[in-house]
A and B are shown apart, each in its own frame.
Chain A
Amino acid sequence: MASTEALSGRRPPTALPRLRVPAWALVLPPVAALGLVFLHPLALVLWQSVSPEGGGHGFSAYADVFAQAAFRDALRNTVLIAAGSTAGALVLGFALALVIAFVPFPGGRAVGRFVDVFLSFPSFLITLALLFVYGSAGMANGVWTGVTGAASGPFDFLHTPWGVLLAEITYFTPFVMRPLLGAFSRIETAQIEVAASLGAKAPRIVRQVILPEALPALAAGGSLVLVMCLNEFGIVLFTGAKGVTTLPVLVYGKAILDGDYTGACVVAVVNIVLSLALYGLYRMLTTRMDGVRRARA
């Protein structure tokens, strides 16, 4: 910014005179729009959560909700499933992106482009597909009963937290792969070749040359997936609905099925706070890891 003066001094005289608009005036419209469409409803939810049925204002609704076993279950499920899905998507996404980017195989580019298409699929589509494969009447069980002659197959995990985890990892892995593929394409081939000529085998090259370059992309993909998992609704509704409840599903249940709007708002507020807190924690961890890595190198 310090160079603005020098630059404008050298500007040819034909340049238009600059309109002197104060910075805050430029910021005002977007902030107002943001407030109207985003912050205002959020405030309404907050306000509703501290306005219990009986009238007056206070945190009694929070105490009620926190005391419910269903809420504590949902909270635990939400955190565990989100953390597990994120970890799974990171590992799987990194491995798949590595193969697509660095192992030449016919159709590799097509696979890379398919990742982009996959991102546009609705999440319940994946769940539906998994139901066809692993559902109680799905292909996997069909093969099993066909081969063994048993009355029913062994695959019956889709309605458990494991089913939700599998569906979320399947659906969210491409969200990790997309930024990774971008990062990998920016790594100089010469670096990898020099590393190999210096005697490094593939695992060392991945660990010490590729991974450090991919960390920012990995962090970005991971944080995206974490937040999306915390708020995922469709997948949980399709797979786990019978046994597995998460916070978004609980909000839905309280608001639509029970008509308990205050309770729904309380859970929603908890969900938002949880999202922000976990996201903050994640960013703190990744920046610290980055710092340690830089210090060590």
Chain B
Amino acid sequence: MTTGIRFDGVTVAYGGTTVLESFGLTVEPGEVMALLGPSGSGKTTALRAVAGFVRPTAGRVFIGDRDVTALPPHRRGIGMVVQQYALFPHMKAGANVAFGLKAHKVPRGEIAARVAEALEMTGMSAYAGRYPRELSGGQQQRVAIARALAIRPGVLLLDEPLSALDARLRSGMLTELARLHRELPDVSMLYVTHDQVEALTLADRIAVMDGGRLQDCGTPQDLYRRPGSAFTASFIGSANLLPVTVTDGGVRLGGTRLDVPAGGAAAGASATLCVRPHLVGLGAGPNALRGTVTEVQWRGATHRLGVDIAGHRVTAELRELRETPPLGTEVTVHFAAHDAVLLPAGADGGEARG
């Protein structure tokens, strides 16, 4: 079984527009890599380049150490699961799962056992005799996953497999997928999603894409705690992004000096300061900032405070407050130096996403 995926400078263009540009990424054997990015960022295109449905105009795609760039899809040995299930409607669940085995000329006697095994793995054994239209969305997706796994692929491609399911079902399926990943430690998975929760929950590493380019790649913890760009910071979790100027041993936000490790940034340079809302505290403390309350949202366990600081909006996610400050009053917020990350100046500084 060949496993692991490598994109080597892959460029894909439709007509004149480049939708994937010099894309380089390695998915290790047995690793779950999430491709995360906004709509139209080229996630599906990258996945289709692996499956063989788009031909790169430049670059190579490897599965294991096999160069598959010129190989037709049916010879790549890949399992594929798509958002709309794409089960064959005139075949029962069992026959759907058997399809790939027959195509691979697996001996007849072996097929039944392997269909049963794949259905068992996804908890669908009881439904082998049902037509897709007789199954719920979640059940159909399980059959689709069983169908992809039955051929024992080294690489599993999933394109937003949970988007068509409702929120409750989605979290259940996420747990199931995590279990499948543990049971199939050799299978590399490329998991396309625009949902950061799915990426954070499931992935060993996350590749963040924007505009056909790889923006950032790392473990969920790394990307969350030490994002490499303003885009990553705002796309994974929510973030306060403040335009600052680097000074000797700190940064300046407007007239306020903040004590933040500047790293290697040269004094005088513009930068973006990233602080997660839940790491912002109310009241006096280190790196105190004064501003007016512009918004108070009660979210059950937390209160979300919007504070306008010299024209920049800072969001603080606070443990539920006994008394909330009235709108328009002056408050002080603060954050610890080690909770802040200094990023290269981003185009969308000052925006908070949530």
Residues of A within 8 A of B (CB): 188, 190-191, 193-201, 204, 208-209, 212-213, 293-294, 297
Q: A190-B82, A191-B88, A293-B90 are in contact. Are A197 and B51 (CB under 8 A)?
A: yes
User: Does residue B182 face the partner (Cβ distance < 8 Å to A)?
Assistant: no
A194 B92 Cβ-Cβ under 8 A: no
Among A197, A200, A208, A209, find the residue whose CB has the most chain B CB atoms closer than 10 A: A197
Which of A194, A199, A201 lies in contact with B86, CB distance below 8 A?
A194
Q: A190-B84, A213-B90, A294-B90 are in contact. Are A201 and B51 (CB under 8 A)?
A: no
A197 B86 Cβ-Cβ under 8 A: no
Q: A190-B86, A195-B99, A198-B151 are in contact. Are A297 and B91 (CB under 8 A)?
A: yes
Cα–Cα, bound, A198→B101 (Å): 8
Shortest 7 CB-CB contacts between residues of A and residues of B: A198-B100, A190-B86, A199-B103, A200-B103, A196-B73, A197-B80, A212-B90
Beyond contacts A194-B147, A201-B103: 6 other A-B pairs, Cβ-Cβ < 8 A, are A188-B86, A190-B82, A193-B82, A194-B82, A194-B144, A194-B148
User: Does residue B277 face the partner (Cβ distance < 8 Å to A)?
Assistant: no
A209 B88 Cβ-Cβ under 8 A: yes
- Interchain nearest-CB distance for A2 vs B (Å): 22
A200 B82 Cβ-Cβ under 8 A: no
Nearest opposing residue in chain A for B83, CB measure:
A190
User: Does residue B78 face the partner (Cβ distance < 8 Å to A)?
Assistant: yes
Nearest opposing residue in chain B for A198, CB measure:
B100
User: Does residue B53 face the partner (Cβ distance < 8 Å to A)?
Assistant: yes
User: Does residue B289 face the partner (Cβ distance < 8 Å to A)?
Assistant: no
Among B73, B84, B148, find the residue whose CB has the most chain A CB atoms closer than 10 A: B73
Q: A190-B82, A194-B82, A297-B90 are in contact. Are A200 and B51 (CB under 8 A)?
A: no
> Would you list 9 pairs from A and B whose C-beta atoms are within 8 A, ordered by A residue?
A191-B88, A193-B51, A193-B80, A194-B82, A194-B144, A195-B88, A199-B100, A201-B103, A212-B88
CB neighbours of B56 from chain A (8 A): none
CB neighbours of B87 from chain A (8 A): 191
- Interchain nearest-CB distance for B133 vs A (Å): 12
Q: A188-B84, A193-B53 are in contact. Are A200 and B99 (CB under 8 A)?
A: yes
Nearest opposing residue in chain B for A192, CB measure:
B86
Nearest opposing residue in chain B for A290, CB measure:
B90
CB-contacts of B65-95 with A (<8 A): 72-80, 82, 84, 86-92, 95
Nearest opposing residue in chain B for A201, CB measure:
B74
Cα–Cα, bound, A209→B72 (Å): 18
B99 A197 Cβ-Cβ under 8 A: no
Nearest opposing residue in chain A for B159, CB measure:
A190
User: Does residue B319 face the partner (Cβ distance < 8 Å to A)?
Assistant: no
Q: A188-B84, A190-B84 are in contact. Are A199 and B90 (CB under 8 A)?
A: no
- Interchain nearest-CB distance for B2 vs A (Å): 14
Cα–Cα, bound, A295→B342 (Å): 64
A297 B95 Cβ-Cβ under 8 A: yes
Q: A204-B103, A213-B89 are in contact. Are A197 and B84 (CB under 8 A)?
A: no
- Interchain nearest-CB distance for A97 vs B (Å): 19
Q: A213-B89, A297-B90 are in contact. Are A193 and B84 (CB under 8 A)?
A: no
Cα–Cα, bound, A241→B164 (Å): 62
- Interchain nearest-CB distance for A62 vs B (Å): 46
B99 A208 Cβ-Cβ under 8 A: yes
Cα–Cα, bound, A194→B89 (Å): 13
User: Does residue B104 face the partner (Cβ distance < 8 Å to A)?
Assistant: yes
CB neighbours of A294 from chain B (8 A): 90
A197 B88 Cβ-Cβ under 8 A: no
Cα–Cα, bound, A199→B77 (Å): 7
CB neighbours of B72 from chain A (8 A): 196
Nearest opposing residue in chain A for B82, CB measure:
A190
- Interchain nearest-CB distance for B118 vs A (Å): 12
Cα–Cα, bound, A208→B101 (Å): 14
B79 A197 Cβ-Cβ under 8 A: yes
Cα–Cα, bound, A199→B151 (Å): 9
CB neighbours of A190 from chain B (8 A): 82, 84, 86
B73 A197 Cβ-Cβ under 8 A: yes
- Interchain nearest-CB distance for B167 vs A (Å): 24
Among B72, B82, B144, B147, find the residue whose CB has the most chain A CB atoms closer than 10 A: B82
Q: A199-B100, A200-B103, A208-B99 are in contact. Are A193 and B73 (CB under 8 A)?
A: yes
Nearest opposing residue in chain B for A196, CB measure:
B73
- Interchain nearest-CB distance for A215 vs B (Å): 9
Nearest opposing residue in chain B for A191, CB measure:
B86
Cα–Cα, bound, A197→B95 (Å): 16
CB neighbours of B157 from chain A (8 A): 197
Cα–Cα, bound, A59→B74 (Å): 65
Cα–Cα, bound, A190→B103 (Å): 17
Cα–Cα, bound, A208→B87 (Å): 12
Nearest opposing residue in chain B for A195, CB measure:
B99
Q: A190-B82, A190-B84, A204-B103 are in contact. Are A198 and B90 (CB under 8 A)?
A: no
